[in-house]
A and B are shown apart, each in its own frame.
Chain A
Amino acid sequence: MVKRIKPDLSLSIGKLKLKNPVMAASGTFGYAEEFKDFIDLKKLGAIVTKTITVKPRYGNLPPRTCETPAGMLNSIGLENPGIDKFIREKLPFLKKLAVPLIVSIAAEESPDEFLVLIEQLDKINEVSAIELNISCPNLQKNKLISQDTKDTFEVIGSVRKFTQKCLITKLSPNVTSISEIAQAAQDAGSDALALINTLGGMSIDVNKRIPKLGSWVGGLSGPAIRPVAVKMVWEAYNKIKIPIIGMGGIIDTESALEFLLAGASAISIGTANFINPGVSLEIISGLEKYMAGNNIPDLSQLTGKLRACQD
């Protein structure tokens, strides 16, 4: 009988060291405290906070969510208490967890707001990495930063000068070529990419003849977008060298593995947290089991290890 290996699930993303590749995605995990009754938070690879802005944001008009086939639309509108209150009221709990903490940040009006946020966060040791959310679809903007290669390059470049912390850039799938944007992010000094944010979507109540969301349109998430996300991870992986954190409709070990094989170094769980708060830990043990069963000693033997159908 062959001796089963004990797989190593740890990995590095720039300076960020993770004990396993499973993260809780921004906006779907609150500030982690909401999940403390359900799972041992310490077991997570990393936690990405709800996106923080300089000033508090009240968010968009309700209704803010609606269910769609195998997915959901949301238009929360980055409701958050602002950076000061975040540091005062939400950070203490997160610090105590001793789990790599990734703070997601966004600018409302001007990219300079990123610098204000970075200045505050850079001083905090427990903040392991910063995720630049330049792809939120719910800010009623005509164009997102991550929908333009030049804007993407400039924003990341200016932020890069002000912090040595690991910088992750979250990109929008609502683009013509994800690999071009990914390349721009890499060139500007991003340490990693988070792929993908939600896909723009709309749903209509035909009896009332009104949109189902208060802000008319929103972002689609859940298993419905998974094939789109897997493809974008695969495309970006073939173009760039920095690590990719894959997400978009992961609900179990199999769907997590799709992303890893497509080229993701780590994965994030989003909408599935709403359905099963324990799903991240189930996926961590599922990955371990899969790797042991397939004699895969570590994640480097899994990421992007895709064969052609004909091989």
Chain B
Amino acid sequence: MKIAQIKTKIISNKRFSGNYWHLEFESGVIAKNALPGQFVNIKVNNGLEPLLRRPISVHRVKGRKVKLFYEVVGAGTQVLSQRKPGELLDIIGPLGNGFDYRGAIKAKAGKNILVAGGMGVAPLVFLAQRLLRPSGAGNDTIILIGAKTKKQVLCAQEFKALGCTVRLATDDGSVGFRGKVTDLLKQQLSVTGHRSSVIYTCGPRAMLKAVSEIARENKINAQLSLEEHMACGIGACLGCVVSTKDGYQRVCKDGPVFLSQELIW
């Protein structure tokens, strides 16, 4: 699959709530080729500050339009949030290895269990979009969303609209299960069983590690989407590596999605 470097106009770039923003741009080639879990690497301005691109996962694809959902966390995303519709953005993508969901869309597949922490919802919405079975043969995807408080629960409505069963966990119990999303995952697995289910997850590192552990105890496959600071984003600099059973692997090129059993924490 070909990776493209494009300059394209921002269609919209709007605050969703708090520090969370939606950005939409048009790119036939990225829209057509992107798979859930893949990312684009954006030069947020033309200057030297910040110098490097910013990797952001693909949130939704509709026709030729690509939508990103990002959190303003530092200088790069701050600059990005100030960019206006009509301005050009230099974007490289789609990059990396996304989720492998080929097994999930077969007729006899088990449940898809999506686990998101905070901004980890961003690529999982795209995945949920692709997991919709064309036959409409019932809903087999459940998403567990974790956040600190009710206000920080993201994308619950989008997942509902895609036909997913949505369960929430908040640290303060302001909505849904009181506690960590990983505790909710344990509870979910004990209630529903999980024959041939697969876990797809994205979120903070500590959460991914806990999900890995739960997957191992329950003998379920889990696919984890990691986040790392990157320099090149295309596998050249070997900067964003993570420890695996095969030695260091590049998050940008070999990942960002890894099987839980491959990673060494």
Contacts and interface: CB of A to CB of B under 8 A. Distances in A.
A58 B248 contact: yes
A160 interface: no
A59 B49 contact: no
Interface in A50-68: 50, 58-59, 62-67
A74 B90 CA distance: 24
Contact of B242 (A62, A71, A276): A62
A64 to B, nearest CB: 5
A74 B229 CA distance: 12
Contacts of B237: 27-28, 30, 65, 74, 76, 274
Nearest to B43: A275
Interface string A114-141: 0000000000000000000000000000
Contact of A37 (B2, B43, B52, B247): B2
A72 B51 contact: yes
B196 interface: no
Given A37-B3, A67-B50, A72-B51, A277 B238 contact: no
B173 interface: no
Interface residues of B, number: 32
Interface string A217-248: 00000110000000000000000000000000
A70 B51 contact: yes
B240 interface: yes
B50 A273 contact: no
B239 A30 contact: no
Interface in A260-278: 271, 273-278
Given A37-B2, A59-B248, A275 B51 contact: yes
Given A37-B2, A72-B52, A278-B5, A273 B236 contact: yes
Given A37-B3, A71-B51, A79 B238 contact: yes
Of the listed residues A76, A222, A275, A276, the one surrounded by the most CB atoms of chain B closer than 10 A to its CB is A275
Interface string B1-43: 0111100000000000000000000000000000000000001
A31 to B, nearest CB: 9
Interface in A145-163: none
Contact of A275 (B53, B235, B248): B53
Of the listed residues A28, A66, A274, the one surrounded by the most CB atoms of chain B closer than 10 A to its CB is A274
Interface in A19-35: 27-30, 34-35
B27 to A, nearest CB: 15
Contacts of B243: 62
A63 B243 CA distance: 11
B220 interface: no
A67 B51 contact: yes
Contacts of A30: 235-237
B132 interface: no
Nearest to B251: A62
B89 interface: no
A170 B157 CA distance: 57
A192 B129 CA distance: 56
Contacts of B229: 63, 65-67
5 contacts: A28-B237, A34-B234, A70-B48, A251-B48, A274-B231
Interface of B: 2-5, 43, 48-53, 90, 92, 228-243, 247-248, 253
Name the 5 nearest CB pairs between A and B, nearest first.
A65-B239, A30-B236, A274-B232, A34-B236, A70-B48
